[in-house]
Each structure stands twice: as structure tokens, then as C-alpha cells.
Amino acid sequence: MRHVEPQVRLIARPRLDYDEIAAYLAEVGGDRWLERVDRGEPDDAQNLAEFAGRICYRSWEPGLNPNVTRIRTDQEEYLRNILASAHGSVLEHVTFSFALHNVSRVATHELVRHRAGAAVSQESLRFVRLDDLPFWFPDWAREDPELMRRATSLLEQMEQFQHWMAGRFDLDAEGVPFAEKKAKTSFMRRFAPEGVATGLVWTANVRTLRHVIENRTAPGAEEEIRLLFGKVAELMVKEAPALFGDYTVQDGAWIPGWRKV
């Protein structure tokens, strides 16, 4: 048994093909838009959101749509208006992928409830045999010596049982078919606690991210998932400040300036 801390790594972000965007804009008369935006990986997420928004009204330049006589040329101002007007559909084009490491199955069972706008690939304990039981303890639990003594003892006993079963089933013997290993490993996972740490890749669009950050850092949310999405929120404010800069933080709760986006 080992103590672990939940970790979040941002592993994928939008990447735009500016040549194809330029070809499109040349046809509709919006070439100058590309002159106003910064190009490159850190900017692609916000550029994609702006591009998706402007295509709705052909608002690349005044006059391209006779109904549009003036436009916002500052990207931060433009995206702030997207958030304020709850034009959230354009944010669904912008997706980010995270590697969530050392997070419990308690947290992942809650996370998979957010299905809309998200994709999940989680470590399968039907295939991955447990040879130790990584476990996260909140600070208040660590400050209770008797609780920690009993909890550690119980986890060590469960861990020893995992090793005993692997030996009992001869899973490491030469020639054991993988199908048998899978079946026995699936049985063995039933004796692992729900708090055992695992890993997954979680992908979500910006609209979903904003919703989950607000809901899962709220005071009533489970404390590990609050910790986890506080870390996600910190990453996103740095990654796309024009899309996440409206939040204020109160006692760990991330409160958006604009809801129902």
C-alpha cells in the first residue's frame, strides 16, 4: 500500500490548419481576421472558438453580412461576449484531453456521470492486475493516527490477499492462457477497495469543462473530485484565459461569471 496524490496532466489541445482557414476566408472575404489573431498552439483553442462564432454571423468584417455594420476586433472582448450571451454551442468545438493519474474509482464513478461532451478511457482492472493498492487520504484523515493505523492495516491485508490469489491461481506460471488470466484478474478486482487509485484519459469540450468545473468544485461535491477539478481549472485558466478567466475562487469553489453557457 502506498500513499498517492491525484494528478492532472493536459495531454492534448486543439491544433488549427491555418492554410485551410485562409483558403476559406479568401472565399468569403474575411482574410483580415487572420491578421488580427496570434497563431500557434497556445492560441489555437481561443482562435477556434472565435472562428466558430464568427462563421455564424459572417462577422469577419463589417459589410460581409449586410446586417453587421460593426464588429469586435479584440479577441478577449469577443469571447467575453460569447460567454455573456450564453452562445455556448461554439465552445463545443474546442476540446482538451487530460491524463488523470492516481485518482480513485470513487472519483471516476462520479466523473463518468458527465457524459455529454466528454470521452473516457479508463484503466481496466479486468486486465490490469493489482500488485499494490495505491490510495489517497485527505488531510483530515492523515491527522488522525488511530484512523491511519487501522486503515493502513486493512489496506495491507487486502493487498496481501491480492498476492495470495495470484499465487493461488498460478497466474505467473508459464503457459497460462491470457483468457484465464483475464477471468481471474476480473475476480480479484472484486476484493479491491473503491478508493484504490487508477488512471484514465478524459476529454471534454469547453462547454462541458465549464459545467463540470463549476459543479465538481462546489462545496457539496466529494472532496477528492473537488481537488481534482480545482487542478483542472488552474490549468485551463493558464491555457485559455479568455474562455476561463471569468471565474472567481471562494473556499476552493470555482464560480463562473457567466453560467448556462
Nearest C-alpha neighbor of 54 from the set 86, 79, 76: 79
Instruction: Work out whether the CA dihedral 34, 38, 44, 47 comes out positive or negative.
Output: negative
How many other C-beta atoms lie within 10 A of the C-beta of residue 117? 17
Q: How far are the Cα atoms of 15, 50, 160, 200 from residue 21, in angstroms, in the given order? A: 12, 12, 58, 33
C-alpha cell at 222: 466529494
Q: Would you say 49 and 206 are in contact if contact means Cβ atoms under 8 Å apart?
A: yes
For the question of residue 216 being annotated catalytic, the response is yes
Measured between alpha carbons, how far is 53 from 24 in angstroms, rounded to an integer? 15
C-alpha cell at 83: 460567454
Measured between alpha carbons, how far is 207 from 204 in angstroms, rounded to an integer? 8
Nearest C-alpha neighbor of 106 from the set 255, 230, 227: 227
Active-site residue (options: 54, 189, 216, 226) = 216
Measured between alpha carbons, how far is 219 from 117 in angstroms, rounded to an integer? 24
Q: Which residues are catalytic?
A: 216
